[in-house]
Every structure is written in structure tokens, then in C-alpha cells.
Amino acid sequence: MLDKNNYLVMAYLSDNGAWGEQDIEPLKLTHINYAFGLVQNGKLGWKHFKKLDYLKKYKEINPKLKIILSIGGWGADGFSDAALTEKSRNLFVDSAMEFIRLNNFDGFDIDWEYPCNNQAGIKIREEDRENFTLFLKNFREKLDSQGQWDNKKYILSIALGAGQRYIDDIEMDKVHPCLDFINVMTYDMRGSYTNITGHHTNLFSQKEDQAGISGDKAVNLLLQTGVPNKKIILGSAFYSRCWEKVKNQGTGINIKAETTGCKTIDYSVLNLEYIIHF
């Protein structure tokens, strides 16, 4: 079980991942963000899930475990349309609330990547910034109303990109009061878009890293907006990103490669073939 410090330990768990019921240790987690629900025809799409029954068993093992539906993910479209009007917001949130009632989930994690930003190839509008706020307020109001009926506190969180531009595209002063947590995605900070090597989920920046991108910097940018530190969850990755044909120079960090860091290696392979065990 977790120690007396009572840290929150959250894990994103993909329904379509290559894992079985026995691979997850629920006593080591406080929260599971189950990924990903989608926006389909203006409503929550979740019928593609195949492993929902496993989650019930995890809660039996750890009754304190909170299981949250994460909606969206990289390249998931439909958010701008769903958040556009009061009618569209009600349609989507009401369908999501039906999922909560049917499946005994403990809340939602909204993973819109990203309002006002089409780098993932999704539809965007200038008014996404304000509509995102209204979207989250709708979720908060309906979760609280359901919670009064159930005598339960439901969770609402968002996933946030690591960097100033992602903060600027959100009305953070209006958004964070609606949220229980902000999951800062301090991973993929380097990777498929650059041929300069570097740690993609580093806590601090190394001296040779001129960009200075790190988990520490991302969290401090968020703190400067007035978000309470108790709401900030530092997201880190257990997979790697790889570059090929890197010049043999120094530590190999911040060195030009002939490929981008688009190749990934998952943790099971890293653990077996790359990590030194003492």
C-alpha cells in the first residue's frame, strides 16, 4: 500500500493496450485514468471498450482506487464542435454522465489536445478558449449535482501540454476552480518533431539543453498562473524515444541526428534490454 505521505499515483491505462487483468497492481495506484472515450456524433463514444470488467475487479482489490474516464487523446477530434454551443455542451456532457451512472466511474479527465491548437490535425476555432471554460463548467455542475444525489465527490481533471503556449490557450484563472487536478504532460517534450536528441520526459534541464524544456519548468509556469500546487499532477513517461545515426560527441544529448525521435521503446523492453539493474 502507499505510505503515510499519501501521494497521488495516477496511471493512464489504455483499453486497447497489450495488457491483461493480472498485469495491473491496483494497490500501487490511487487513480486510473482509463483511456480513451471519444467524441462521436456530438456524444460520448465508449462502446469500443473491451476491458471494463477488469476495472470492477481492481476496485474490489483496492476500494479506495478512483477510476476516471479519460476523453480524447492525441488526434481525437470533435471537441470544438461539442463545446461550441450550450445545446452541444449539454448533449455531450449528458451522454458522459450516463456513462458514469452505468459503469461506476469516479469522474472525467478531459484530454482535448488542444483548444485553439491544431497541431494534432483537429478542428479548431478562435472561440475554443472561452468554450473550453464553459464546457468544463458544465461538467463540474453536473458532476456536483450527481454527487449530491450519490453522496459522492466526483473528479474532474484535464490533461495539459507542457509549455506556455498551452497555458495561454486556456482561461486558466476560470478553469482551475472547476478542476480537481491538472495532469501536466511532461513527456514527448522532444521526439517525432525534432532531429536534436534529448530526454523527452526530463524532470530538470541539462546544461547543454538550450531550450530549457523540463517538467520543473512546466510546473512552475502553471504555478505562476495561480493554480494551487495540490492540483498539479506531474505526468512522466516510462517509454523512451530514440534517434538514429547520432554524431558520437559528448554525452549524446542535444546532438543532431539523421532521424527524428519518432521511434519509441516501451517499458517492458527497456527493462529487459536497456536498464542496468544493481
Domains in the chain, CATH or no CATH each: 10-185 (3.20.20.80)
Each residue of 3-32: pLDDT tens digit? 546 789 999 999 998 899 999 999 999 999
Each residue of 75-129: pLDDT tens digit? 999 999 999 999 999 999 999 999 999 999 999 999 999 999 999 999 999 999 9
Catalytic residue positions, numbered: 113
Q: What is the pTM of this model?
A: 0.93
Distance CA(58)–CA(68), nearest Å, equals: 13
Each residue of 173-205: pLDDT tens digit? 999 999 999 999 999 988 888 898 988 999 998
Q: What is the pLDDT of residue 180?
A: 98
Q: What is the pLDDT of residue 246?
A: 93
Per-position DSSP letters for 191-249, written without gaps between them: STT-SB---TT-SS--TT-SS---HHHHHHHHHTTT--GGGEEEE--SSEEE-SSB---
Each residue of 249-275: pLDDT tens digit? 888 888 899 999 999 999 889 999 988
Q: What is the pLDDT of residue 1?
A: 42
